[in-house]
């Protein structure tokens, strides 16, 4: 039987070492399975390259907060992280770290355990009341009991001093991959049906109309919207007013009511709902 030559032109992005076409030689007729295998092969290569590219782009956009009272440590970490293309913020003590966490969006937080004013363990506990952002703890106390304490307070990873900056970078990338969804969303923008939040510029839009919120109202909405359907108690939401606030917890209810009024869409359910006896949660409107 004569040989039949099938030429498959690949319009998808082709692997550089393969080329844009390939010849499959068959005997006794055109091999449909061979053509399909070739197409699938190119698609797999293309998807792998796209996933790798997306992961690199996502990594390069990471915003990392480094909290350590030792300036040399912060500088050394900052140099390595910036070489990787990360955006780096710094805090000299626990109180400043908590303020920066609440005022700006971060993808990874690095906390030294032994810091003045508020130690890293306490900062970690406060952050975990409102966020699941990955946290890596650093400490010169490299004993097992200290590692366990750090992890039990909600830290994702733990490194003892002295440490390798290259290993820290590797752990940051690993933590980022663990929370990645496989896409490259803009971490500063939260998009929901009927509402959009710009966490960096602190803007809120409902049905494409900008809504003006007070700083506390925005902070409350930010905590809720970052974790849709998760219930937050009044005590957890009270963290917006600072860890040293000792006023009436009902200030949360007052601000939530004002927030609901500003976000209200006629005929639609509220973005913020009450879970009786427990607190509040952000509702995601489902499409049919």
For the chain, domain boundaries: 3-52, 61-179, 189-282
* Per-residue pLDDT, 247: 72
Residue given tokens 């080329």 in the structure block: 19
Confidence of residue 149 (pLDDT cuts 50, 70, 90): low
SS3 238: helix
Instruction: Give the rounded distance of the alpha carbon of 272 from its chain centre.
Output: 22
Look at 131-135, 166-170, 212-216, 255-259 and tell me which has the smallest mean pLDDT.
131-135
Within 213-253, strands assigned E span: none
Model confidence at 55, pLDDT cuts 50, 70, 90, reads: very low
β-partners of residue 209 are 206
In this prediction, residue 219 carries a pLDDT of: 87
Phi-psi region of 197 (alpha: psi -120 to 50; beta: other; left: phi over 0): beta
- The model's confidence at residue 160, banded by pLDDT at 50, 70 and 90, is confident
Centroid of chain to Cα 138:
20
pLDDT at 143 over 90: no
Question: Between these two residues, 50 and 278, which has the higher pLDDT value?
Answer: 278
What does the pLDDT look like over 86-124, one tens digit per residue?
A: 999 999 999 999 999 988 888 899 999 889 999 998 898
Are both 61-179 and 189-282 of the same fold?
no
Q: What percent of the chain has pLDDT over 70?
A: 68
Collapse the DSSP code of 35 into the 3-class scheme (helix H, G, I; strand E, B; otherwise coil) and give the result.
Answer: helix
Q: pTM to 2 decimals?
A: 0.47
Q: How confident is the model at residue 45 (pLDDT cuts 50, 70, 90)?
A: very low
| Residue 90 vs residue 56, higher pLDDT | 90
C-alpha distances out from residue 14 to 18, 41, 124, Å: 7, 10, 46
pLDDT for the residue 286: 54
- Name the CA radius of gyration of the chain, rounded: 25
Q: Name which residue leads in pLDDT, 167 or 60.
A: 167
Q: Which CATH number fits domain 61-179: 3.40.50.180, 3.40.50.2300, 3.40.50.150, 3.30.1370.140?
A: 3.40.50.2300
Average pLDDT (185-199) is 78
DSSP state, residue 232: B
Quote the pLDDT of residue 187.
Answer: 56
Q: Which CATH number is associated with domain 189-282? A: 1.10.10.10
CA dihedral defined by 146, 152, 157, 158, rounded to 10 degrees? 0
Rounded CA gap, 162 and 48, in Å? 37
pLDDT tens, 58-80?
455 688 999 999 999 999 999 99
The larger pLDDT score, comparing residue 51 to residue 215, is at 215
pLDDT, tens digit, for every residue of 230-261? 888 888 888 788 656 667 788 899 999 999 99
């Amino acid at each position: 039987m004569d040989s039949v030559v099938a030429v498959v032109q690949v319009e998808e992005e082709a692997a550089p070492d393969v080329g844009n076409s390939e010849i499959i030689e068959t005997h006794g007729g055109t091999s449909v399975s061979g053509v399909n295998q070739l197409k699938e092969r190119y698609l797999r290569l293309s998807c792998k390259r796209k996933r790798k590219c997306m992961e690199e782009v996502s990594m390069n956009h990471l915003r990392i907060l480094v909290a350590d009272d030792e300036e040399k440590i912060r500088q050394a970490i900052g140099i390595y992280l910036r070489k990787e293309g990360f955006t780096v913020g710094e805090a000299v003590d626990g109180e400043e770290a908590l303020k920066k966490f609440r005022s700006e969006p971060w993808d990874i937080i690095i906390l030294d355990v032994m810091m003045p004013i508020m130690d890293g363990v306490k900062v970690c506990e406060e952050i975990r009341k409102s966020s699941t952002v990955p946290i890596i703890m650093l400490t010169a106390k490299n004993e097992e009991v200290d590692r366990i304490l750090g992890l039990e307070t909600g830290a994702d990873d733990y490194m003892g001093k002295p440490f390798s900056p290259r290993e820290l970078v590797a752990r940051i990338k690993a933590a980022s991959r663990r929370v990645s969804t496989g896409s490259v969303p803009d971490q500063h923008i939260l998009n929901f049906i009927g509402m959009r939040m710009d966490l960096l510029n602190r803007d809120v839009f409902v049905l494409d109309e900008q809504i003006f919120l007070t700083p506390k109202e925005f902070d409350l909405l930010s905590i809720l919207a970052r974790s849709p359907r998760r219930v937050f108690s009044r005590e957890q939401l009270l963290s917006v007013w600072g860890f040293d606030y000792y006023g009436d917890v009902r200030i949360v209810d007052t601000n939530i009511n004002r927030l609901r009024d500003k976000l209200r869409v006629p005929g639609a359910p509220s973005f913020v709902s009450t879970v009786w006896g427990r607190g509040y949660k952000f509702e995601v409107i489902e499409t049919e």
